[in-house]
Chains A and B, each alone.
Chain A
Amino acid sequence: MHIPDGFLSPQTYLPAAALAVGAWAWAGRHLRSRLDETLIPRLALLTALAYGLGLVMLPLPGGTSGHALGVALLTLLFGLRLAFLAYSGVLLLQALLFGAGGLTALPVNALAMGLAGSATAILTFKLLRPLNESIAVLATAWVSVMVSGVLVALALGIQPLIAHQPDGTPLFFPFGLAITLPAVLLPHALIGIGEAALTLLVWRYAKSRKWIA
């Protein structure tokens, strides 16, 4: 789901960068009060898990491949701000070391997967937790992946509309929304199921260790 360099126009990544810097500043406020000594080892471990999940490419029907995110997991255990910061770090490392996602696209990737994915996870979990906690965790992970996917597909799919040559030839990414939305969402609907199962597994383990209330 990572958008690489060269696929997004400056009209997209410059405003996104401004927005992301603001979001990172907001997420980093009062970090010391929220990140105590007992939390850091767990956060490091789960961030490493998200990093690892992003590197395991799952072959998907249609010749493409995808990977789980781990954003919902980070959010359920550490809250929105820490999850967003941690996942932004994961995206940065993946871009620098693996070329998975680009540096110019980092703000869009961070906002779509880190911030929006995390915010969606919080909302979904709060909404569904009163009904059934396990189902709420499963739905949280799946919806989080799908919302991130929608935003990534939107960012890619609008490129032919906003950045093209006078003859209409796209300058950056050639496929419109009618193609990107199903191309991103259908594989990630499958990936989301796997991610939901993994999230529930780790969630239950975390609860058994009293990492979460």
Chain B
Amino acid sequence: MNTLMKKLLLLVCVWTPLAQAHAVDHRIEVSTAAIITLNYANERPFAHKQYTLTPAGQNKPMQVGETDAQGRIAFVPGELRHWRLKASSADGHGVNREIIVPAPLQSETALPATAASTSDSPSPPMQAIVPTRLSPPCDQPVWLRASIGLALMFGLFGLYQIFLRHRPR
């Protein structure tokens, strides 16, 4: 093998792995993810809308994307519990608030221990996925909240009516 061939072989050996560096590889890993479900008040999913997930107190988002057809966002929070979720549609619907990922999802190492039913650990079974629903400020059923609103409204108007009736003329 002459010198030129040796150099060419060396070049090919060095260059080829570098060329492969542009490829996008993938890996599938079964792990613990948090799933956030977003929906309109009438239960319709907040589907295919932009969102960003940023660790609380930081500026750079950890995850940016679009909710799926069911209005869901799946992400791996790792050890971080406090996140800021921004999700919006162009017509002004959406959320921009801090969320707290439930504690069981913090420790990915806990999952295999839970999966192993023979474990002697006294800890309760851990869910692999805990849905975190972004609820309105009041968690009561819609009919109850609507009724509370009506009661407050009629109550205030009623009080004003009583005030008018008893005011000195």
Chain A contact residues, CB within 8 Å of chain B:
1-7, 32, 35-37, 40-41, 43-44, 47-48, 51-52, 55, 57, 59, 63-66, 89-90, 93-100, 152-153, 156, 165, 172-175, 179-180, 183-184, 187
A98-B41 in contact given A36-B164, A48-B153, A93-B152 (Cβ < 8 Å): yes
B91 near A48 (CB under 8 angstroms)?
no
A97 near B95 (CB under 8 angstroms)?
no
Within 8 A of A (CB), among B38-94: 40-42, 44, 47-48, 50, 59, 86, 88-94
A97-B149 in contact given A37-B161, A41-B161 (Cβ < 8 Å): yes
A184 near B92 (CB under 8 angstroms)?
yes
Classify the secondary structure of B's interface with A: mixed
B94 near A7 (CB under 8 angstroms)?
yes
- Complex-state Cα separation, A40 to B167, whole angstroms: 15
B152 near A64 (CB under 8 angstroms)?
no
B92 near A1 (CB under 8 angstroms)?
yes
B92 near A180 (CB under 8 angstroms)?
yes
Q: Which residues of A contact B48 (CB under 8 A)?
A: 63
In the complex formed, the residue of A with least CB distance to B93 is: A64
A4-B94 in contact given A89-B153, A97-B137, A99-B136 (Cβ < 8 Å): yes
- Complex-state Cα separation, A18 to B144, whole angstroms: 33
Indicate whether B146 reaches chain A with its CB closer than 8 angstroms.
yes
Partner pick for A96 among B44, B50, B137, B160, CB 8 A cutoff: B137
Q: Which residues of B contact A41 (CB under 8 A)?
A: 157, 161
Q: Which residues of B contact A93 (CB under 8 A)?
A: 149, 152-153
B91 near A97 (CB under 8 angstroms)?
no
Q: Which residues of B contact A99 (CB under 8 A)?
A: 41, 135-137
B42 near A32 (CB under 8 angstroms)?
no
Q: Which residues of B contact A98 (CB under 8 A)?
A: 41, 136-138, 142, 145
Report the 7 A-B pairs with minimum CB-CB distance, sorted nearest first. Answer: A6-B96, A99-B136, A183-B90, A44-B157, A183-B91, A57-B42, A97-B145
- Can you show 15 pairs from A to B with CB atoms below 8 A apart? A2-B92, A5-B96, A6-B86, A7-B88, A36-B164, A40-B157, A44-B153, A44-B158, A47-B157, A51-B149, A64-B93, A66-B91, A96-B138, A97-B136, A174-B86
A175 near B153 (CB under 8 angstroms)?
no
Indicate whether B150 reaches chain A with its CB closer than 8 angstroms.
yes
Q: Which residues of B contact A36 (CB under 8 A)?
A: 164
Indicate whether B148 reaches chain A with its CB closer than 8 angstroms.
yes
Q: Which residues of A contact B157 (CB under 8 A)?
A: 40-41, 43-44, 47
- Complex-state Cα separation, A52 to B150, whole angstroms: 9
- Complex-state Cα separation, A175 to B89, whole angstroms: 8
- Complex-state Cα separation, A76 to B50, whole angstroms: 39
In the complex formed, the residue of A with least CB distance to B134 is: A99
Q: Which residues of A contact B148 (CB under 8 A)?
A: 97
Q: With a 10 A CB-CB cut-off, give which of B48, B97, B149 has the most chain A CB atoms.
A: B149
- Complex-state Cα separation, A181 to B16, whole angstroms: 52
- Complex-state Cα separation, A93 to B91, whole angstroms: 21
B91 near A3 (CB under 8 angstroms)?
no
- Complex-state Cα separation, A111 to B153, whole angstroms: 20
